[in-house]
Amino acid sequence: MEKQTVTIYDVAREAAVSMATVSRVVNGNPNVKPATRKKVLEVIDRLDYRPNAVARGLASKKTTTVGVIIPDVTNAYFSSLARGIDDIAMMYKYNIILTNSDENGGKEVQVLNTLMAKQVDGIIFMGNQVTDELREEFKRSKAPVVLAGSVDAEKAQPSVNIDYVAAVAEAVKNLIDHGNQKIAFVSGSMDQAINHDYRLKGYKKALKDAGISYDDKLVFETDYTYKAGQSLEPALTAAGATAAFVGDDELAAGVMNGLTDAGVDVPSEFEVITSNDTKLTELVRPKMSSITQPLYDIGAVAMRLLTKLMNNETVDENTVILPYGLMKRSSTK
Amino acid sequence: MEKQTVTIYDVAREAAVSMATVSRVVNGNPNVKPATRKKVLEVIDRLDYRPNAVARGLASKKTTTVGVIIPDVTNAYFSSLARGIDDIAMMYKYNIILTNSDENGGKEVQVLNTLMAKQVDGIIFMGNQVTDELREEFKRSKAPVVLAGSVDAEKAQPSVNIDYVAAVAEAVKNLIDHGNQKIAFVSGSMDQAINHDYRLKGYKKALKDAGISYDDKLVFETDYTYKAGQSLEPALTAAGATAAFVGDDELAAGVMNGLTDAGVDVPSEFEVITSNDTKLTELVRPKMSSITQPLYDIGAVAMRLLTKLMNNETVDENTVILPYGLMKRSSTK
DNA sequence: CGCAACATTGAAAACGCTTTCAAGTCAAAG
DNA sequence: CTTTGACTTGAAAGCGTTTTCAATGTTGCG
């Protein structure tokens, strides 16, 4: 009942050559006489031989697969990166082992270990809370690790991101320029480096530059979910905010819809600007103004960087910063 | 410079037992004296030994990884399924090799082949156009294949779906009950089985049951994109439609917003009902009424089914149909 | 105490491929 | 003719586990 599998040995016998030769033609090694190559190729075709990647991996110590740790595929921001990653991976003949981590440190460590056990050639990590334990695992990993759209306070790992502090500062400045004095800062957990070490800094910088004093009553730390945003309305208005910078699009859609549903008009009474420029920003009404990020490219560049690392090529810059922009749509004046 | 890797052999030597014994304790084989088990475990811990999954895969002919072919991770419908798949996979100690196919037959076949080369233990396929070539590949695959949220006219493969024709019929009936006579049917390519063999049938059935004659001028075949939906407005109104059933949420958001932007009020002047009940339906205004599908569960059940198949357990029902519902929100009266 | 029955263990053969190294070929050069 | 060096090839040793099979130990019981 087991389907028969033909091995390199069968091909060798059938073609009356050695396994080594078959291996050579399969791998495109030029040191094979054209005539033999042709003969072997014919047999391969006739027998429908397909090299076993596992055996190949064991022998060559390369699996041509990379591990990708993602907080949640269902999140538009990360899935966009993932798409970029996969496309470039495919381009370079790699496959992706994708695992959701829910940004849960324990799960991340565990997943990392099974990836390493599977001998992946490299790893792309997404998630903004690089715990010490995680950092340790990265270090001991013999496979290179690059962070995509994710920051770590101690820039130990290669990574590709945008300049979050500048981007947020610019976004907030924009809000300030529109006359807002009380601008809310809405984001996910402050434990995440991207929030406390980057976004908040950008926020504070913009405030400071404009001579507005920082008020932590205007900082809202919540979940990255639509619902969380939606239920933020009372607090937002209670705090007297007239605008908000939000760290995630789905969350932003929530606060915007929450506001609108409560009768607060966006943008005339309350402006909101979001961070990731996912499709979402175009779907909601009003359309959301946003920091723009080359999402796909962040993933793509990260994967490209990883290929170089896996190939032991020297890379001039380990931490690459891609350009961002600001897209004015209808949630800001 | 190469990081040293400790093998089962090192553990065996260090613990003064044979590789076989080490293998036994690693795999939880009970035939080991407690004392030896303890001794081996200590050495494993001390040496920080981690089994090489590739070698294990070669020897045991099981890789504990399954291939997942997805049209596009970036699509909310499919990424929801993917999440269900990954969670259950993890629960059963499997990993997922995820590849985007863009529903491109050639790419799908190629991807399928590299998955098989990598000796995946099973495959989950998403995509609604099972070409003959693809079907052939499925057949010759020694790894079981299950379709998730995807139909094939000739139900050769195990699959998990909802009853699309009944669901669509019910949705359309709902529209009819609201007094609509000219109901548009908007979907992606009619080459896809799910559209011509399921959704359209449900649509026709509802029409027939209500004594309304079918008019193919009301059938709109387009891309599954927001933009495509948005630009459909002129055609929709030109055709005199007062309601539409749409086969994809992003597409539906497009048609709805296109309508609204053109000054057509939803739902008072035009009703729309969509198909997948992704997060999207809640984000747009008005919120979209939709067929509800247990997205996560479709993926989860598909993966669970696959584990049984991989385990050679007998499954009573190869094609499972999960329950659907109808969620009335604000895009219908 | 002797033996059957069962519990533990180890030796060694796979698993299917890559890779090193030496050997064999062959044509151009001397 | 030899010699030399460039090409081609094959033999065989891994790669790190699992697994089979036989051998060795132990225990219970009459």
What pLDDT digit, counting tens, does each position of B12-21 carry?
Answer: 999 999 999 9
Mean pLDDT of chain A: 94
Q: Indicate if the pLDDT at residue B5 is higher than 80.
A: yes
More confident residue, B195 or A155: B195
pLDDT of residue B319: 93
Q: Is B30 near strand C, with its CB below 7 A from some atom of it?
A: yes
Strand C–CB A23 distance below 7 A: yes
Instruction: Please determine, for residue A9, whether its predicted confidence score (pLDDT) is greater than 50.
Output: yes
Q: How far is the C-alpha of B280 from the C-alpha of B261, rounded, in Å?
A: 18
Residue B317 has pLDDT above 90, yes or no: no
Using 50, 70 and 90 to split pLDDT, how confident is the model at B3? low
The whole-model pTM stands at 0.94
pLDDT band of residue A1 (cuts 50, 70, 90) is very low
Which residues from chain A sit within 8 angstroms of residue B96, using beta carbons? 97-99
Q: Is residue B220 very low, low, confident or very high in pLDDT (cuts 50, 70, 90)?
A: very high
Looking at beta carbons, which residues of chain B come within 8 Å of A63?
Answer: 54
What is the DSSP annotation of A194-252?
Answer: IIIIIIHHHHHHHHHHTTPPP-GGGEEE--SSHHHHHTTHHHHHHTT-SEEEES-HHHH
Q: Is the pLDDT of residue A154 over 90?
A: no
Contacts of B250 in chain A (CB under 8 A): 279, 283
pLDDT at A156: 85
Q: Which of residues 269-328 of A touch strand D (CB under 7 A)?
A: none
Q: Is it the case that residue B2 has pLDDT exceeding 60?
A: no
Look at residues B144, B214, B209 and name the one whose alpha carbon lies nearest to residue B183: B214
3-state secondary structure of B145: strand
CB-based contact A65 B97, cutoff 8 Å: yes
What is the distance in angstroms measured between the alpha-carbon CA of B35 and the sugar C1' of D25? Answer: 15
What does DSSP say about strands A145-148 and A183-187: parallel, antiparallel, or unpaired?
Answer: unpaired
Q: How many CB pairs under 8 A join A and B?
A: 138
* Residue A88: band (very low, low, confident or very high) from pLDDT cuts 50, 70, 90: very high
Chain B residue closest in CA terms to A82: B73
Residue nearest to nucleotide D20 (CA to C1'): B20
Q: CA end-to-end span of chain A, whole Å?
A: 69
In the predicted structure, residue A2 carries a pLDDT above the cut 80:
no
Looking at the predicted structure, is the pLDDT value of residue B1 above 60? no
CB B71 within 8 A of CB B102: yes
**Which chain B residue has its CA at the smallest distance from A5's CA?**
B142
